[in-house]
Chain A
Amino acid sequence: MESRIKHYNNMLKNREITCTELTEKYLSSIESDNKDLNAYVTVTADAAMEAAKKTDEKISRGEEISLLEGIPMTLKDNISTKGIETTCCSKILEGYKPIYNATVWETLKTQGAVLLGKTNMDEFAMGSSSETSYFGGAANPHNINHVAGGSSGGVASAVGGNIAVYGLGSDTGGSIRQPASFCGIVGLKPTYGAVSRFGLIAYASSFDQIGPITTTVEDSAIVFDAVSAYDKMDSTSQGRKGAPTVDTLKNDIKGMKIGIAREYLEGVRDEVRVCIEKACEVYKSLGAEIVYFDLPALKYALPVYYILACAEASSNLGRYDGIRYGYRTDAYKDVNEMICKTRSEGFGDEVKRRIMLGTYVLSAGYYDAYYKKAQNLRGSIVNAFKNAFKCCDVILAPTVPMTAFEKGNAISDPIETYLTDICTVPVNIAGLPGVSIPCGFGENGLPIGMQLIGNTFCESTILNAAWQYENAVGSEVFRPSQYGIKL
């Protein structure tokens, strides 16, 4: 699989295309395809053309350009962009234009990235289908009757549908990996602390991480290397540890130990299990060793995740009161009623449910039984993974137990939908890096993804394993969609 970023970078450097032309192409494909995909909620055509022009001027002056310079890309709508509407796809933030840039966007902008627009997501990143978005869900580029997944559904739809070269999403319980899996592309959730969260509108602060959604593993490595730096604005930031991941991306993996935790395969669809088994065979043929073990601590991962993430969310979302920014209700008696009405009208049902759950588990009398207990079980899960990595280098697991849902199915039963996060949340609980890459197709023709999980700050290892797999089977598991511009 050829890196798209490198492909365009070469074309720009060799003057086979100008950045303005490339950007125009992407903007016109958004114009035609976004009606179907609903991937973008804001398109920033003028700013994109302006950035493209700058790159062209640089090239015409004969200056060097970096890999990401002039490459058209997108950001999930929860990443703050100065002067550009950033809504988290919530009515409560309609019209809100940040007065500062998220660190990741500042970094990419400085490197000359061309922002095409902001992409759709579940409201405040709470959901698995992007259908809780105030602007309606994003469609799966492989079949628009199915969802793109969530919560970073818009980025996955845009990248899978090639109306953006790459994008940054955020992953709190699977929100990068799950939509990447549904859309047949690559999604990397970095180690907690590898990428700055400054400017990422918080859902659950101790779980949230920003990461790339790309079509190839190499692109994922390139973008990750660019945004994984220590940021003094984020107390939990550490940056990437060690050399850029592209340096070791193509190393051979003879002797690498790939672990399979049996718990991950319980309850997944047969077609998904078969894909994982096939992947094991591929890895064996590449000289890796497969080891099997148990991770019983995973049994409680889902409730632990929902208790802790909702607790943090209930606090993080308290600030939407209609005073300093965002939506405000029209009629009220006093300030308190203004705040309550604003929030009741501004938040969607799923967000309200999670705020209520979070408030409940933190409230007097329930804290110990829920929050405290969940926090301790989080500790157990962290330790269980630590032990697991004593006997393997990466863990291979399904990303989602099934292929993309049909539209409208996800939101009918919240608990059923929560259960689909079973394979992705453990990584967030333990703060580990995980990458989802395509590994096959279901009966319905929709992509199936698999997940490679590494020890903390071992992005190099999982990307290396992912690249080797992709290199071995690439075209069998990747199909371009009918949308977007063709290479």
Chain B
Amino acid sequence: MKYEMVAGFETHIELATNTKIFCSCTTKFGGDPNTHCCPICIGLPGTLPKLNKQVIKYAIMAGLATNCEIANISKMDRKNYCYPDLPKAYQISQYDKPLCEHGYVQLSSGKKIRLTRIHIEEDAGKLIHKRGDTYVDYNRGGVPLIEIVSEPDISSVDEAKEYVERLQQIMRFIGISDCKMQEGSMRCDVNISVRPVGSDKLGTRTEIKNMNSITFIGRAMEYEFQRQVDLIESGGQVEQQTLRYDDVTNTTSSMRGKEDANDYRYFRDPDLVTISVTDEEIDDLRKLIPELPFEKAERYIDEFGMNEKDARNLSKYRRIAEFFEEASDGVKTPKTVANFIIGQIFRRLETEDDKEKFDVAITAQQLKELVMLIDNGKIRNNLAKSTLEKMLDTGKSAGDFISESDMAGMDEGMLNDLCSRAVESNPKAVADYKAGKIKALKSMVGFVMKESRGKADASLAEAKILEILG
């Protein structure tokens, strides 16, 4: 029998606010243990939470960018469970009235992964286990999170990866999170079950907790899918449980212990008041949502005739897309701009992180000036390329490297002279050509290009030489 995967995601994303969700401590990553703490975020008796306004804004923006309905009225609830990383023994979260509901993320295939909800909550601290001792650091405690819950609409590892990538891109694009999986600012729990292809019944699911890399998500899902299929094939049954993925052995294992007798006893947090958002406020936030990467990619393909891969590469990061759009605004050949970025500039941005930051020496305007020189026939591509390298090294403009004479271009007389010399001084090439070696023509054009130091138009030169050769 053939089986298919049924998977849903719970994705936690740390919001890029300056301060924690309920106190004014910084959210900066790292820092010495327990140095980003105050009485509120370590839960000292008598302290009270005060909600950070920016958290509401960012969460609503996340909802708007994923096609959610935004609740005009919502509230905060307490999720009670006792664990040393949770200083109040309850997490302030949202239970039955989340800020955002009923959204979706569309994959490149056109398939929509439905989102059940997006709610806000606080992150927990960090536990370090050493030689059986437990060390607790609350720097991360109280950092604002959104939890994005999807429907079980994902049916392959590729869809899962694309879903996570798209979420990551959207959240980065709207500027509400850096979504750095390796730093834990984006973490995924995956619910996964299998069923015979064609069946519409859901199987028993397992939940793989806390995954912080797209590669591992893929491997873990592949492993878990196969484990469940094997189990069923051999007459066994999948047990509903929470799993941990071990990236060294590439296996999943049960996490029982932490979750024994989970009963979170949710109730409304009496220390916090109702959250009320008007339609006007939602509309104002909607205006802050930029064109999203996939929308941009589609437009690049339509408007500039770009191929899909280039379009995606250019639209993936907001700074790059904005740089591209500014540099290509008004130029004749946006594709040239795209090629320069994808070719020469990307070579200098090794990691995804570098691309996200997009720390380059020149401005979009400087690149645009360079491309305009090509557009106006003042310089040739080769010269532009080498000039761009110099610009990227120094941050200087094209004009600093290209002289007036470089830009003078070639009038017809000069080209005619050069072409005549190319024929006169290369009798062997002429003979070869006449003997049928087409390639010999190239060496004469090469002569013209060399003599003109790249300023000549190769196709015009070729035509001229052919004319001379009769």
Contact yes or no, B48 A324, CB < 8 A: no
Contact yes or no, A198 B46, CB < 8 A: yes
Contact yes or no, B82 A98, CB < 8 A: no
- Complex Cα distance A312/B271, Å? 10
Q: A318-B80, A319-B43, A324-B87 are in contact. Are A236 and B271 (CB under 8 A)?
A: yes
Q: A311-B267, A319-B87, A324-B42 are in contact. Are A235 and B47 (CB under 8 A)?
A: no
Q: How many A-B contacts if CB must be within 8 Å?
A: 99
Question: Is B136 positioned at the interface, with any CB of A under 8 Å from its CB?
Answer: yes
Nearest-CB distance from B364 to chain A (Å)?
A: 43
Q: Which chain B residues lie closer than 8 Å to A199 at the CB level?
A: 46-47
Contact yes or no, A205 B267, CB < 8 A: no
Interface residues of A, Cβ cutoff 8 Å to B: 78-80, 86, 88, 93, 96, 98-100, 102, 197-202, 204-206, 232-236, 311-312, 314-315, 318-319, 321, 323-325, 335, 339, 359, 362-364, 367, 371
Q: A315-B90, A319-B88, A362-B265 are in contact. Are A202 and B46 (CB under 8 A)?
A: yes
Task: Report which of B44, B50, B267, B273 forms a contact with A98, defined as CB distance below 8 A.
Answer: B44
Question: Is B353 positioned at the interface, with any CB of A under 8 Å from its CB?
Answer: no
Nearest-CB distance from B50 to chain A (Å)?
A: 6
Q: Which chain B residues lie closer than 8 Å to A96 at the CB level?
A: 45
A196 closest partner in B (C-beta): B48
Nearest-CB distance from B373 to chain A (Å)?
A: 58
Q: A235-B271, A362-B80, A363-B265 are in contact. Are A318 and B89 (CB under 8 A)?
A: yes
B34 closest partner in A (C-beta): A324
Nearest-CB distance from B435 to chain A (Å)?
A: 89
Question: Is B263 positioned at the interface, with any CB of A under 8 Å from its CB?
Answer: yes
Nearest-CB distance from B133 to chain A (Å)?
A: 10
Contact yes or no, B44 A99, CB < 8 A: yes
Contact yes or no, A235 B50, CB < 8 A: yes
Q: Which chain A residues lie closer than 8 Å to B51 at the CB level?
A: 235
Question: Is B175 positioned at the interface, with any CB of A under 8 Å from its CB?
Answer: no
Contact yes or no, A201 B46, CB < 8 A: yes
Contact yes or no, A198 B48, CB < 8 A: yes
Contact yes or no, A205 B50, CB < 8 A: no
Q: Which chain B residues lie closer than 8 Å to A324 at the CB level?
A: 42-44, 87
- Complex Cα distance A339/B266, Å? 21
Contact yes or no, B48 A359, CB < 8 A: no
- Complex Cα distance A262/B57, Å? 50
Q: In this complex, which of B43, B136, B267, B273 has the most chain A Cβ atoms within 10 angstroms of its Cβ?
A: B267
Known: A325-B44, A325-B45. 9 other contacts (CB 8 A): A88-B45, A98-B44, A199-B47, A201-B45, A233-B50, A312-B270, A315-B80, A315-B267, A339-B84
Q: Which chain B residues lie closer than 8 Å to A362 at the CB level?
A: 80, 265-267
Q: Which chain B residues lie closer than 8 Å to A202 at the CB level?
A: 45-46, 271
A99 closest partner in B (C-beta): B39
- Complex Cα distance A198/B45, Å? 10
Taking CB atoms and an 8 Å cut-off, the chain B residues in 7-41 that contact chain A are 39
Nearest-CB distance from B428 to chain A (Å)?
A: 87
- Complex Cα distance A367/B263, Å? 11
Question: Is B134 positioned at the interface, with any CB of A under 8 Å from its CB?
Answer: yes
Question: Is B78 positioned at the interface, with any CB of A under 8 Å from its CB?
Answer: yes
Contact yes or no, A198 B47, CB < 8 A: yes
- Complex Cα distance A150/B469, Å? 115
Contact yes or no, A205 B45, CB < 8 A: no
- Complex Cα distance A206/B267, Å? 12
Contact yes or no, B84 A100, CB < 8 A: no
Q: Which chain B residues lie closer than 8 Å to A234 at the CB level?
A: 48, 50
Nearest-CB distance from B413 to chain A (Å)?
A: 81
Q: Which chain A residues lie closer than 8 Å to B45 at the CB level?
A: 80, 86, 88, 93, 96, 98, 201-202, 319, 325
Q: Which chain B residues lie closer than 8 Å to A206 at the CB level?
A: 270
- Complex Cα distance A364/B80, Å? 12
Q: Which chain B residues lie closer than 8 Å to A80 at the CB level?
A: 44-46
Contact yes or no, A315 B265, CB < 8 A: yes
- Complex Cα distance A79/B43, Å? 15
Question: Is B446 positioned at the interface, with any CB of A under 8 Å from its CB?
Answer: no
B132 closest partner in A (C-beta): A334
Q: Which chain A residues lie closer than 8 Å to B266 at the CB level?
A: 362
- Complex Cα distance A167/B78, Å? 33
A358 closest partner in B (C-beta): B265
- Complex Cα distance A100/B47, Å? 9
- Complex Cα distance A78/B87, Å? 19
Contact yes or no, A102 B46, CB < 8 A: yes
Contact with A along B258-274 (1 / 0, CB 8 A): 00000101110011110
- Complex Cα distance A198/B23, Å? 13
Contact yes or no, A315 B78, CB < 8 A: yes
Task: Report which of B43, B80, B87, B273 forms a contact with A236, defined as CB distance below 8 A.
Answer: B273
Q: Which chain A residues lie closer than 8 Å to B273 at the CB level?
A: 235-236
Contact yes or no, B134 A335, CB < 8 A: yes
Contact yes or no, B46 A319, CB < 8 A: no
Contact yes or no, B48 A321, CB < 8 A: no
- Complex Cα distance A448/B210, Å? 61
The 3 lowest CB-CB distance pairs between A and B, nearest first, are A318-B89, A206-B270, A362-B265
Q: Which chain B residues lie closer than 8 Å to A371 at the CB level?
A: 267
A87 closest partner in B (C-beta): B45
**10 A–B contact pairs at CB < 8 A?**
A199-B46, A201-B46, A232-B50, A233-B50, A312-B270, A319-B89, A323-B136, A325-B44, A363-B265, A367-B265
Q: Which chain B residues lie closer than 8 Å to A79 at the CB level?
A: 46
Nearest-CB distance from A187 to chain B (Å)?
A: 21
Question: Is B49 positioned at the interface, with any CB of A under 8 Å from its CB?
Answer: yes
Q: Which chain B residues lie closer than 8 Å to A321 at the CB level?
A: 82, 84, 89
Q: A315-B78, A318-B82, A318-B90 are in contact. Are A359 and B265 (CB under 8 A)?
A: yes
Q: Which chain B residues lie closer than 8 Å to A205 at the CB level?
A: 270-271
Nearest-CB distance from A239 to chain B (Å)?
A: 15
Contact yes or no, B39 A100, CB < 8 A: yes
- Complex Cα distance A367/B134, Å? 34
Contact yes or no, B90 A235, CB < 8 A: no
Q: Which chain B residues lie closer than 8 Å to A98 at the CB level?
A: 39, 44-46
- Complex Cα distance A311/B78, Å? 11
- Complex Cα distance A59/B44, Å? 38
B39 closest partner in A (C-beta): A100
- Complex Cα distance A418/B184, Å? 49
Nearest-CB distance from A104 to chain B (Å)?
A: 11
Nearest-CB distance from B51 to chain A (Å)?
A: 7
